[in-house]
Structure 1
């Protein structure tokens, strides 16, 4: 990877001394994806609409455990495309949670036939019990561009269902996410993270895509391991590595976050 997370890490050391309860979070991440080309770089600013408590709970998911509303802006891209996102998460009456996200992609025409990409995501979840959340949503995507001088466009709608189980006692426990997305193919993802304490957690995810019709280029399933460590309530580093189940590395990721 060609970039460094050192500047934000130094900021994390500075802000961590002042972090008791925070309402702001800045994250920077890098991803090296096999067969893609350039590294991805991403940056996100998230604003929590109330203080995020830090006592007795894993720092990583404290906003979720305390049902803290938030909004965010995000950028990620490489030399071929710039993607901009705006979204938020709202908890309603301790029973419902609403998530929405808008994304716009601006492509470099010298390396891609695409020109624009639009993405809208909306979902609603319901807390069946304090530990279990179930829900569903819809994703809409639109892309256009020129191929041999002819303008082309395409759009797609995807249905999404999910479940989340979270059980934390004295700072340790499980956070498990299950998701299925359905359009021309079925995509199934399982993510299980164990918190050893407030600071350290390890997660294992598995992604599988199942074609509904004959595909000459089937995709391999991907398994990924991530480790997340909070040096203080205000600064964390996360590293991950993904591999194809048929063999070979799929991705390497590195990220850091600062709360203040």
Structure 2
């Protein structure tokens, strides 16, 4: 069973997007098996208490994401979401619903980062140009200047990630690395990890940038590995403590 932790996501959404989110989570949970016809528009409208128009728009959104096939006169058939879905599914995997955060999925994501990110830094150190080193340094200097504003700080972190990934000169690495950055930025907005010691200190990043500038790919990878391990341990500690506290609260007599 997925570990569910409360998250605050208050952004307004349309009825069709809310229904689409519900349907996507059911697809991910196996509630609608791949290749088997889903309920009709009328049946889903009755089940979820919405109009058929809302159902139709939600299904169009799922089709645009490649998650279902709509056959006129035949019905709607799910694809295998783990084969047809893209990185936009991470949000639905990380958030079990509008109130609960999937701690297990976050742990899986951080494990992937721990294995993937050092390779990005190694390649950036190997392939960077002098101009890109200057861009990375500029983004690094700007980062602490925005620390008092969560939105600006998140944007500064993403700029730094983009400049580093660009230095790899590998479009696949850039695509995955930049998407990971956006996903983790969303995570930081709903989990108050900053209450702990900062996960990524400025001096840690400065060491990595110096390794990139020196084209020391082994050192860049090693520093990134240590940073990823520290981030993983910090978040695991946070999630374990939060889960324990919520369990205590739920067991407290009324």
- Shorter-chain TM-score: which interval? under 0.3
TM superposition score normalised by structure 1: 0.21
Q: Which has the higher strand share?
A: 1
Greater RCO structure (CA 8 Å; 6+ sep): 2
Larger radius of gyration: 2
